[in-house]
Amino acid sequence: MSAYLTFLYRCFRISFVGNWQYHLWMFVLSVITLLGLNAYCKQLVHGLVTTGMTDQVSWGMYIANFTFLVGMAAAAVMLVIPVYIYKNKDLHDLVIFGELLAVAAIIMCLLFVTVDLGRPDRFHHLLLRFNFPISMLTWDVIVLNGYLLLNLHVCGYLIYCAYRKRQPSKSFYIPFVFIAIIWAISIHTVTAFLYVGLGGRPFWNSAIIAPRFLASAFSAGPAFIILTLQVIGRNTGYHVPDKALSVLKNIVTVALTINMFLLVCEVFTEFYTDSLHVASAKYLFLGLHGYHALVPWIWTAIIMNTVALILLFLPISRSMKYLNISCVLMILGIWIEKGMGLIIPAFIPTPLGEIVEYLPTFNEILVCLGIWAFGLLLYTIFVRITIPVLSGQLVHHDTSKP
Amino acid sequence: MEDNKPKLVNNESSCNGNPCSCIDAQKKPSRRSFLRQGLAVAGGLAAFTAALKPLSELNPDDIPTAEEFIQKHYKEMSAEEMESALDRIRNDVEKRYQVRPEIADIKPMDGVEFVYALNLSRCIGCRKCVHACVEENNQSRSPEIQYIRVLEMPRGTTDIEQGNHHYDRPKVPSDDHYYMPVQCHQCANPPCVKVCPVEATWQEADGITVIDYDWCIGCRYCEAACPYWARRFNFSEPKVPSEKINKNMSYLSNRPRQKGVMEKCHFCLHRTRQGRMPACLEVCPTGSRKFGNVLDPDSEVSQILKNKRVFVLKEEVGTLPRFFYYFDERYPRNNSEGA
Amino acid sequence: MEPQDNLDLIIRRLIGPVFIVLAIILYNYSGSSLPTIPDPAGVSTADLSTEPMRELLGNPPVSVVNGFERKCMECHQLFESNPITPEKLIQHSNIIMDHGMNKTCYNCHHTKDRNKLVLRGGKTTDFNNVELLCAQCHGTTYRDWQKGMHGKTLGHWDIKQGQPEKLACTQCHDPHSPAFKSMKPLPGPNTLRMGDPKAVKEHYTPDHEVHQPLRTWSKKQSSH
């Protein structure tokens, strides 16, 4: 037990150790986190009126970011499948990076949901009176927290075993890894079902939402991992195998192709039918009755995704530079498409046909940035701890031996 | 993993009392670096504390008391617990608005299922129902919360998207339009009740979908789920002028709400569960609104359901609303002359 | 680890002071800047009265003539009235006749006894039972009114707890100009954020010109 506490203490200490770039990065993230915390305190005092949300558009940036990040968390498990199912040993260590990203992403999701609540002081009501299995939000609470615990267990166990120079016992983590694979699909499906089951919002009430969620998650998530692995490779001594990046690139290419195809399916169904239910899609893609705030955003996202996909198919993407450009475009495109392009249009027009557009306030944006910064901070700390442990630089000293 | 060792250190890790080669091995810090680190830590803590400063502006009334925190769900409260909750509410309201309310927990009547019927041929769109509701139910004036929304619809369509919410004519009704007020329909298959994660909203035996304002966590999932845009959220602390407070309150209906919780039309249950009419009906000048017990075959609403061509909004969504619209003779006719 | 180069040194030196500056900024600028919440709409209590639209004149009706309260027979016992209703009334000029085909006074009023209203077959009724007269022509409306489907019913829906209060026809309808009077609507919604009316006016175009027969008809009706 004391060895574990020492381990934790050393992890805490090592988070502050690094070169100047590391310190600068952590410092900037800390500042942004504090600004976000400050903005959230203002929101606690005045209520959600500090955000741009209204009765007409009652979910905004917070839920948009939550949706995107659940996808990221689910996609981290995409690294797990090649290693454990296809027994690709080269990628073994990357599993931990993927799962750590999942942990950080889930914590961000939980934070986004908490800041969206009108009465966070009543969180305990969820434990006392839980409308399971009828309310999809209860399913979401269970699967998100379960996924967090699963990944914390797997990573924590593997890292601690490496720290203690013990061989991890397979029965302690292999079953959990397999559960995590299935669980990852479920967290994003359940989040999709939150929206899909609402008959009053025809924009969401479509069977294609859940597959689109998964396809876009499995594009943006591995893309993010491609970028982070290169950052890790450059800033620590850790060598990232090329095989890893090419496997991830293949996953991303397939997923993004499916995502774009599903987009075409959705657009055709809405616009060819041209029923009254198409109002929200019209608002998003073309503008409705003179309101067109989201039109430039969605078209930028579609163009970015298309360019990213084309780049991936071209041989030019074998070079890191173009692969990175493609990844960045893809992540931004999917963030827009899944966040603003999914959540906001369902509220415009309202079920009674009123159009009130949504614009996030400065305070709301600060809270979002604060949570993102906090998540990146956590992930950096996780990586900062993991690499020395895995490479043997941070190990348990058995001071009891002579 | 063997070829992944970084080049930063050159020993394997094995102590045996030798100088530690681990990455977090601390050399003795110089005074300068110690001061620098100390300043960074102190600065960080100062910034953290300063970030929390807005909380000092938190109204102490907003912070839940221990009693509020452990208050049970409405359905689990015993009579004594309800009474002490009502007592707390009396004191709260008196403190905030200088009015001592008469508040009770009015239970549903037996053998009653409420239904509302609205005659679209008679509604002239005067919006008196909207404002009477606001006065009766202690709704926030700023920001404005109104449970009822009146749509000015062009003749010949029931496409809600063509309705105008913001009509402002010198005189209503307008010849080309009919008027459709929409409020919570107390659906028999309510999507809002399905989605609430904490069961803060549920349907009572008389058909009214109620909200326990002390249980709602403010996630607004019900607001997203409602196909009729009937639910409202308190984005800010509701402001009700003290002189306009309606003293006759009930736990589940019109007691003043706090920020961060949902609210909606509840068919004025503090009135209707005592046999009276809802406020919107009483103020309606044309008598377009009809309310009563559908289980009583002689009630007005039963007669309407039997004899008039009633329809409900968005029937295809399957919510089974208890709010029926009908046209009877002709659209209301404009008569701009006369007193 | 000791700093290796100048940049390293600068960054590490700055961290503490910048945090302190941030603390000072956050402390001083934590004042709230709420978005502007729109002002509440002004609605007076008089607007929300539940009283019926019209006051009854009583049975027998009492009207104010030249500042004096007069009953009908006070004049009509003395004067002969024109047996044929003139186009324009000389007395009772405040009455506006706009009752469709029902333009003749004696369709409703008794030729001799002005405290009575006439029904078919020579029968009469008094002003407390106006609905019997109205029912002569508006039978379906009367049938609905009897069942509570037409007109306002105040009071209680639950007859065990109190009486419903039905109104007389003339409490809403002026018998000489019965169409329900139009009125100024009360203020519309003024929620936290509203759509931009300007956007709608400048850029609105119908989504596509679809022939909607009923709407074309109604536009034609209202243009005369």
The pLDDT tens digits of the residues spanning B249-282 come to 999 999 999 999 999 999 999 999 999 999 999 9
Report how many domains make up chain C.
Answer: 1
Interchain pair B337, C177: CB under 8 A:
yes
CA B260 to mean position of chain CA atoms: 9
DSSP 8-state secondary structure symbol assigned to residue A338: I
Is residue C40 in some structural domain?
no
What is the tens place of the pLDDT at every residue in B211-243? 999 999 999 999 999 999 999 999 999 999 999
Interchain pair A49, C34: CB under 8 A:
yes
- Chain B nearest CA to C38, separation (Å): 7
Asked if C75 has any chain A CB less than 8 Å from its own CB, the reply is: no
Report how many domains make up chain B.
Answer: 1
- The dihedral over CA atoms of A208, A213, A216, A219, expressed in degrees to the nearest 10, equals -130
Q: What is the DSSP string of A149-170?
A: HHHHHHHHHHHHHHHTT-PPPH
B 153-172: CB under 8 A from C = 154-157, 165-172
Picking from B8, B116, B282 by the largest number of C CB atoms within 10 A of its own CB, the best residue to mutate is B282
* Residue B294, token pair as written in the block: 């559908």
Look at phi and psi of residue A55 and say left if phi exceeds 0, alpha if psi is from -120 to 50, else beta.
Answer: alpha
Interchain pair A361, C35: CB under 8 A:
yes
Nearest chain B residue to A120, by CA: B217
Interchain pair C194, A289: CB under 8 A:
no
Q: Are residues B24 and A397 in contact, defined by beta-carbon separation less than 8 angstroms?
A: no
pLDDT of the residue at B64: 86
Picking from B24, B142, B175, B240 by the largest number of C CB atoms within 10 A of its own CB, the best residue to mutate is B142
Across the range C202-217, mean pLDDT stands at 44
Euclidean distance between CA atoms C142 and A379, whole angstroms: 76
Nearest chain C residue to A47, by CA: C34
In this complex, which of A59, A141, A353 lies closest to B161 when CB atoms are compared? A353
Is residue C186 in some structural domain?
no
Q: Which residues of B touch C51 (CB under 8 A)?
A: none
pLDDT of the residue at B127: 95
Euclidean distance between CA atoms A370 and B84, whole angstroms: 41
* Residue A61, token pair as written in the block: 């940036």
Interchain pair C212, B337: CB under 8 A:
no
pLDDT of the residue at B139: 94
More confident residue, C9 or C222: C9
Is residue B198 in some structural domain?
yes
Q: Are residues A159 and A389 in contact, defined by beta-carbon separation less than 8 angstroms?
A: yes
pLDDT of the residue at B113: 97
- The verdict on ipTM greater than 0.85 is yes
Mean pLDDT (chain C, rounded): 79
For A146-286, strand residue ranges (E) read: none
Q: Are residues B81 and B72 in contact, defined by beta-carbon separation less than 8 angstroms?
A: yes
pLDDT of the residue at B103: 94
Which pLDDT band holds residue C201 (cuts at 50, 70, 90)?
very low
Which pLDDT band holds residue B18 (cuts at 50, 70, 90)?
very low
- Chain B nearest CA to A53, separation (Å): 8
Chains touching A (at least 3 CB pairs under 8 A) are B, C
The helix (H) or strand (E) run that includes residue C117 is: strand C117-118
| Cβ count near A267 (within 10 Å) | 14
Interchain pair A46, C34: CB under 8 A:
yes
Pairing of strands B102-104, B114-119: unpaired
Which pLDDT band holds residue C1 (cuts at 50, 70, 90)?
very low
> Given a cut of 60, is residue C25 above it in pLDDT?
yes
Q: Which domains can be identified in chain A, with CATH numbers?
A: 19-391 (1.20.1630.10)
**Closest Cα to residue B233, out of A53, C112, C23?**
A53
pLDDT of the residue at A235: 84
For chain B, strand residue ranges (E) read: 102-104, 114-119, 149-154, 177-182, 201-203, 209-211, 231-233, 248-250, 262-264, 289-293, 310-311, 323-326
Asked if A201 has any chain B CB less than 8 Å from its own CB, the reply is: yes
Asked if C210 has any chain A CB less than 8 Å from its own CB, the reply is: no
Q: Which residue carries 């992540």 as its tokens?
A: A331
pLDDT of the residue at C136: 93
Q: Print burial letters for B107-127: b (CB count within 10 Å at least 16), e (below 16).
A: ebbeebbbbbbbbbbbbbbbb
Picking from B21, B36, B139 by the largest number of C CB atoms within 10 A of its own CB, the best residue to mutate is B36
Q: Which residue carries 């009071």 as its tokens?
A: C155
More confident residue, A67 or C56: A67
Asked if A21 has any chain B CB less than 8 Å from its own CB, the reply is: no
Across the range B43-53, mean pLDDT stands at 88
pLDDT of the residue at A186: 92
More confident residue, B113 or B155: B113
Q: Which residues of A touch B194 (CB under 8 A)?
A: 134-135, 197
pLDDT of the residue at A365: 95
Interchain pair C18, A27: CB under 8 A:
yes
Task: Name the range with the highest mean pLDDT among B54-63, B99-108, C44-53, C77-86.
Answer: B99-108
> Given a cut of 70, is residue B19 above it in pLDDT?
no
- What residue numbers bound the domain in which C140 lies? 57-171
Asked if A275 has any chain C CB less than 8 Å from its own CB, the reply is: no
CB pairs under 8 A between B and C: 230
- Chain C nearest CA to B65, separation (Å): 25
CB pairs under 8 A between A and B: 231
**Closest Cα to residue A118, out of B200, B283, B269, B159?**
B200
Q: Which residues contact A359 (CB under 8 A, 6 or more apart)?
A: A52, A293
Interchain pair C203, A290: CB under 8 A:
yes
Nearest chain C residue to A26, by CA: C15
- What residue numbers bound the domain in which B153 lies? 114-326
Euclidean distance between CA atoms A64 and A339, whole angstroms: 4
What is the tens place of the pLDDT at every residue in C28-43? 876 656 666 776 767 8
- Chain C nearest CA to A378, separation (Å): 19
Is residue B48 in some structural domain?
no
- Chain A nearest CA to B239, separation (Å): 13
pLDDT of the residue at A358: 92
Q: Tell me if residue B152 falls in helix, strand or coil.
A: strand
Is residue B260 in some structural domain?
yes
Is residue C141 in some structural domain?
yes
Please give the backbone phi and psi of residue C65, each rounded to the nearest 5 degrees, phi first: -125, 120
Euclidean distance between CA atoms A334 and B318, whole angstroms: 33
> Given a cut of 90, is residue C213 above it in pLDDT?
no
Question: C61: exposed, middle or buried (C-beta count within 10 Å: 0-12, 13-18, 19+)?
Answer: middle
Picking from C5, C7, C25, C196 by the largest number of A CB atoms within 10 A of its own CB, the best residue to mutate is C196
**From residue B35, how far is each of A124, B39, B193 by CA, in Å?**
43, 6, 59
Paired strand residues for B150? B181
**Closest Cα to residue B119, out of B329, B277, B260, B313?**
B329
Is residue B68 in some structural domain?
no
Is residue B89 in some structural domain?
no
Average pLDDT across each block of 10 residues of chain A; the chain has 402 residues. List them in order.
Answer: 86 86 91 94 92 94 96 83 70 81 95 95 92 93 94 90 86 87 91 94 94 93 91 84 85 94 94 89 91 93 96 90 94 94 94 92 95 96 89 75 52
Mean pLDDT (chain B, rounded): 87
Interchain pair C203, A20: CB under 8 A:
no
pLDDT of the residue at C4: 59
Euclidean distance between CA atoms A130 and A123, whole angstroms: 11
> Given a cut of 50, is residue B85 above it in pLDDT?
yes
In this complex, which of A20, A50, A355 lies closest to C7 when CB atoms are compared? A20
> Given a cut of 80, is residue C209 above it in pLDDT?
no
Is residue B16 in some structural domain?
no
Is residue B105 in some structural domain?
no
Is residue C179 in some structural domain?
no
Nearest chain A residue to C17, by CA: A27
Q: Are residues C182 and B334 in contact, defined by beta-carbon separation less than 8 angstroms?
A: yes
Question: A241: exposed, middle or buried (C-beta count within 10 Å: 0-12, 13-18, 19+)?
Answer: middle
Is residue B274 in some structural domain?
yes
Q: Which residues of A touch C204 (CB under 8 A)?
A: 289-290
Asked if C45 has any chain A CB less than 8 Å from its own CB, the reply is: no
Residue B120: give its domain's CATH number: 3.30.70.20
Across the range B175-191, mean pLDDT stands at 94
Out of A35-44, A228-237, B118-127, C87-96, which region has the weakest mean confidence (pLDDT)? C87-96
Asked if B88 has any chain C CB less than 8 Å from its own CB, the reply is: no
> Given a cut of 70, is residue B26 above it in pLDDT?
no
